[in-house]
Chain A
Amino acid sequence: MNRTFDIKHYRGFFGITCLCLVILYGPLIIVMVYSFNDSVSITNWGGVSLRWYIEIFTGLESAKFKAAAWNSFTIAIMAATVSTVIATAASIGMIRGGNFKGKFASFALISLPIMVPEIVTAVATLIFFSTIGFKLGTLSILVAHTVFCIPFAYLPISARLQGIDASYEEAAQDLFANRWMTFRYVLMPIMWPGILAGFLLAFIISLDDFIITNFIKGAGIETLPTAIFGSVKQGIKPNIMALSTLLLLFSIALVTLSYFIGKRGEANQKSQQ
């Protein structure tokens, strides 16, 4: 194809896109590279080594990080599970519940956690918990995360549900399935890529959360982000770089997984229609 004149082409846009990618990935790659730095001083390069990785698992602070990681992962799994269930129910209610007064308000309420700035949510939650005497700790973090994750799970689930033809459910009902059976045997099998994507998204959001967690965790509990933050405040140390790299790779792996599940689900859907 003759490319001497392409109406869509603007000189420099490709360059800026590359710049954009460099800016986005640069810092992360640098951190990854330096996490293998053999030298204690992070400014001088001392050769490649895994010492910092070993240190996170066995060194002075390893107990702290292990506890923090345990907290982060358990909270994330529980928060993601509960918020996914709530979000799935909500999307069925919103998308297959017909038109009703207050549907818009309901949607606004479900999206509220995304609309409100995170720091406001953090303050409000702290004030609320302390007023009702809710002890600050793992449970308080779990509750706050679950609520905060609902709209994030809701988005992919409802998007998927929107795209499903309502005639499958009608056919199921015509063939004697009640509402629960319709959901279990027809809706859910077709919806599951969306539900899984919602779960993964909620999981990552909870795992990564800093601001809200920092506010309401109370003394003595750390999650990975708060532990990392506390450590960074005292200066960036190499073991932090290693820990960051691990977390980084884990997040990317999760996202890639979610992406491929989504693609497979889409391919299935297309061939069925």
Chain B
Amino acid sequence: MTTAVSLHGVRKDFGNLTALSDVTLEIEDNEFFTLLGPSGCGKTTLLRMIAGFEGATAGTIRLFGDEIEHLPPNKRPVNTVFQNYALFPHMNVAENIGFSLRMLGWTKTEIQTRVNEMVEMVQLGALVDRKPSQISGGQQQRVALARAMAPRPKVLLLDEPLSALDLKLRQEMRSELKRLQRETGITFIFVTHDQEEALSMSDRIAVMSDGELQQIGTPFEIYEHPNNRFIADFIGETNMMAATVDTVDGLQVVCHLEGGQNLNALANCQIMVGATGILSLRPERLSISKTGSTSEVLKGELGDRVYLGTDTQFIVNLSGGLKLKVRMQNSFFQGSDFKTGDTVFVTVADGAARFLVD
């Protein structure tokens, strides 16, 4: 597998503010790679640096092995889909899409052919003569996509392209984008703060926070084996409780919570007996029942519940003042069996517990 983009020790300062510190990562060719993180984590800055709109304070950026930091944006074979689309208001759809080709000096026929291909690809046939102000947000998004992909870039950068769309449209576009990436084979670098988007679309995800890389991995790895508390909390939902290690066996530990409950967990790194950290339990890996069963069991009192259509989320009050969120699919149990105030037993699925030390 060839490396499409490689960043090494990249740092970006804006005056006294450090937006990115020591970012090192490699993005493979043909990959759908996502930069995920909350606002202000530096993901957009990183994207802009790859595009060429910001310069690096330190570090190197390589595109298929060539260093590109000294190149201006118009000399880099990467193209960007902007968050606000930035479609040229005075040009129609066809002219927007063909803009880069004009700049590159293609002949009129070549441009016409390619524009038609792109229009076909994003299914905008009827709208080629319209101006951006005359088409909907979702259509503008597709024009922005077609425009950026027309010059056959090796790498496509997408800066939160779906954030302006409503939910239904967003979900449609997610599969569209995934399909496009697979068909064209272009390396996609996708920036988002929406972790569901990241999980559903990416080959690999880089989680960022405060200008630093937290973890790089496949969606499964990020979700199942978060490296630290931030990632566990940011991706999906989880219960986090303070815990202390009692026994250690490789990465398997036995720990106890403040209420005295004992649990097996998988640690994210080598730790010692007596170490303190966070126990992370995902609500969907827990279940409640009226009787205790064979695997790990926690006892508590049933509190409030929230009906969510497909699931119901329960709050269980454990001893020691701890509260657990438990999520169960409505098709698998009878909610009427449980009443607030009942004593219930919470079962943790095998291998679901994580012990996290930062």
Chain A interface (Cβ < 8 Å from any Cβ of B): 165, 167-168, 170-178, 181, 185-186, 189-190, 268-269, 271-273
Cβ contact within 8 Å between A170 and B99: no
Partner of A268 from B80, B86, B89, B151 at Cβ < 8 Å: B89
Contacts of A174 in B (CB 8 A): 51-53, 73-74, 79-80, 148
Nearest-neighbour CB distance to chain A for B274, whole angstroms, equals 54
**A181-B103, A271-B133, A272-B132 known; A173-B72 Cβ under 8 A:** yes
Cβ contact within 8 Å between B103 and A171: no
A-B pairs with beta carbons under 8 Å apart, 21 shown = A165-B86, A167-B82, A167-B84, A167-B86, A171-B86, A171-B87, A171-B88, A172-B99, A173-B72, A173-B73, A175-B99, A176-B103, A177-B99, A177-B103, A185-B99, A189-B90, A268-B90, A272-B89, A272-B90, A272-B131, A273-B89
Contacts of B104 in A (CB 8 A): 176
Contacts of B139 in A (CB 8 A): none
Task: Say yes or no: is B100 at the interface (Cβ < 8 Å to chain A).
Answer: yes
**A172-B99, A190-B89 known; A178-B82 Cβ under 8 A:** no
- Which residue of chain A lies nearest to B78 when distances are taken between CB atoms in the complex? A174
Nearest-neighbour CB distance to chain A for B50, whole angstroms, equals 11
Task: Say yes or no: is B147 at the interface (Cβ < 8 Å to chain A).
Answer: yes
Complex Cα–Cα for A268 and B88 (A): 12
Question: Apart from A168-B89, A177-B74, what 5 extra A-B contacts exist at CB < 8 Å?
Answer: A170-B86, A171-B80, A171-B87, A175-B103, A177-B99
Cβ contact within 8 Å between A178 and B74: yes
- Which residue of chain A lies nearest to B133 when distances are taken between CB atoms in the complex? A271
Contacts of A170 in B (CB 8 A): 53, 73, 80, 82, 86
Q: How many residues of B contact A (CB 8 A)?
A: 27
Contacts of A172 in B (CB 8 A): 88, 99, 103
Nearest-neighbour CB distance to chain B for A111, whole angstroms, equals 29
Chain A to chain B: the 4 pairs with minimum beta-carbon distance, closest first: A272-B89, A175-B100, A171-B86, A167-B86
* Chain A interface SS verdict (over half): helix
Residues in B43-57 with C-beta less than 8 Å from chain A: 51-53
Contacts of B73 in A (CB 8 A): 170, 173-174
- Which residue of chain B lies nearest to A190 when distances are taken between CB atoms in the complex? B90
Contacts of B100 in A (CB 8 A): 175-176
Q: Pick the most buried of A181, A268, A272: most chain B CB atoms within 10 A of its CB.
A: A272
Complex Cα–Cα for A168 and B99 (A): 12
Complex Cα–Cα for A186 and B84 (A): 16
Contacts of B52 in A (CB 8 A): 173-174
Nearest-neighbour CB distance to chain A for B17, whole angstroms, equals 16
Contacts of B80 in A (CB 8 A): 170-171, 174
Complex Cα–Cα for A175 and B90 (A): 16
Contacts of A173 in B (CB 8 A): 52-53, 72-74
Contacts of A177 in B (CB 8 A): 74, 99, 103
Contacts of B84 in A (CB 8 A): 165, 167
Nearest-neighbour CB distance to chain B for A97, whole angstroms, equals 16
Nearest-neighbour CB distance to chain B for A264, whole angstroms, equals 13
Cβ contact within 8 Å between B147 and A175: yes
Q: What sequence of 0s and 1s flags, for each residue 72-111 of chain B, a beta carbon within 8 Å of any chain A beta carbon?
A: 1111000110101011111000000001101110000000
Nearest-neighbour CB distance to chain B for A5, whole angstroms, equals 42
Contacts of B148 in A (CB 8 A): 174-175
Nearest-neighbour CB distance to chain A for B91, whole angstroms, equals 8
**A170-B82, A176-B103, A181-B103 known; A186-B74 Cβ under 8 A:** no
Contacts of A185 in B (CB 8 A): 99, 102
Complex Cα–Cα for A175 and B151 (A): 8
Complex Cα–Cα for A168 and B80 (A): 12
Q: What sequence of 0s and 1s flags, for each residue 23-65 of chain B, a beta carbon within 8 Å of any chain A beta carbon?
A: 0000000000000000000000000000111000000000000
- Which residue of chain A lies nearest to B100 when distances are taken between CB atoms in the complex? A175
Complex Cα–Cα for A186 and B89 (A): 9
Complex Cα–Cα for A184 and B124 (A): 27
Contacts of B133 in A (CB 8 A): 271-272
Q: Pick the most buried of B52, B53, B103: most chain A CB atoms within 10 A of its CB.
A: B103
- Which residue of chain A lies nearest to B98 when distances are taken between CB atoms in the complex? A175
Complex Cα–Cα for A173 and B132 (A): 19
Cβ contact within 8 Å between B89 and A171: no
- Which residue of chain A lies nearest to B102 when distances are taken between CB atoms in the complex? A185
Complex Cα–Cα for A177 and B75 (A): 9
Residues in B100-142 with C-beta less than 8 Å from chain A: 100, 102-104, 131-133
